[in-house]
Amino acid sequence: MVSCKPLTLPRCRFPLSLQKRVEYLSLAVGNAKSQQHSSSSSRGDTVQFLTDVEEKLEVAQVQIEIFRAIEEGTLPSDEKQAWLEKVEERLFTITEVRLCSRSLTDFLLRERC
């Protein structure tokens, strides 16, 4: 009998743009959805993997929105670059996205008043 490890997403150890992360996560979703399963345990692993990838894809898409908002904003050049690098460097957790989004929204609202 062959022992199979549950499906997991690898951690990225090399520079990868946010756009590429979205592209690869989208491909992973498509591949996971097209899998044929011979047993209920492998189906369960794939469903869990698919849920994880879809959540990461949603976070990456929100990060892209944050990135674009920073790009279009009127932050000082050095501050803008620092924020863009921070948003681009890795995939955030959902909590980090919420905090970043809230901070950015607060800043933009203050700027417009």
Domain-embedded: residue 27: yes
Total domain count, the chain: 1
H or E element, residue 61 = helix 40-72
pLDDT of residue 2: 36
**Is the pLDDT higher at 100 or at 84?**
84
Q: What's the whole-number mean pLDDT along residues 27-49?
A: 78
pLDDT > 90? residue 37: no
Distance from C-alpha of 77 to C-alpha of 79, rounded to nearest angstrom: 6
Q: What type of residue is 12?
A: C
Domain-embedded: residue 82: yes
Domain-embedded: residue 93: yes
Domain span at 98: 18-31+39-112
Least confident span in 32-41, 55-64, 75-84: 32-41
Distance from C-alpha of 24 to C-alpha of 37, rounded to nearest angstrom: 22
Taking the CB of residue 80, how many other CB atoms lie within 10 A of it? 15
Long-range contacts made by residues 97-102, C-beta under 8 angstroms, separation at least 24? 97/59, 97/62, 97/63, 97/66, 100/66, 101/62, 101/66
Domain-embedded: residue 6: no
Q: What's the whole-number mean pLDDT along residues 21-44?
A: 81
pLDDT of residue 33: 85
What's this model's pTM, rounded to 2 decimal places?
A: 0.72
